[in-house]
Structure 1
């Protein structure tokens, strides 16, 4: 699946984002995905402890529906991991250099398609607090808060839900 995102610049003019191909991740992608997680600016400062030793292993990739967004230069621009039982968007990262280009929206649209194909009715997201606005902008609805679990996660996190029967296709990307 390849698509190009149409976005708006600061003056409201339409501009084309990067062409992105979304593909199933393989065990060989594990090191690149781990590096993306550990280097993410979204987890700097007080959030750094959450990803300091985090690893996206080959076994995780093989056991779950993990998909990567690949740019025109074959660089990994982002990825997501969809757990099927119980249904949850477990991981979603967009490379720092690709932030704001529509890659996240393309990944969410792809995840929704995969979830529907698997027969899911909804997908839960326990969000990194700064990412809540993004998830809400692509159709997730806030359902609650997951309390901090000290020594693992030291802050409360928003809990959201994608209700697939209500997912608005306006959030999707345009194919090229």
Structure 2
């Protein structure tokens, strides 16, 4: 290094004295809940957009009572269950909402009810029919009741009485959880 070359003449990796002024005002509880819970964005992604640190956003989430997902997990079971419990889930759906992927299973069931058969429903939601059958079977197991009368020759698939109640509850819940609004691919 030459004697004329000094730290003052180079760009320093140290932040300027006013770096804190660029941080957003404290994010509102509603905004952070929408971004992190409903839109399933990561703390890292939100921090990159806002200029706030990941630590600050995580602290705000804890202060607001927003359960943090485990690192690398987009639908941490415990966090999802507490979020759903807080959103006044209809009692008929509670047994089916405590596991990862629960919202997607409910949405796919609701989407499937618009079709005459599982096969056409699977095609409509962009799944193989075996996958859709497995998800509906899991939902029926979780809820402890048959939800659909499967299609038979010359007879379209139709909802059972419990299936109709579950569908109504899902539709009521769709306003709270955007992932329930559409499962079609």
TM-score range, shorter chain: under 0.3
Q: Which of the pair has more CA radius of gyration?
A: 2
Give the TM-score of the pair, scaled to structure 2: 0.22
Select the structure with the greater relative contact order (CA < 8 A; seq sep ≥ 6).
Answer: 1
Q: Which has the higher helix share?
A: 2
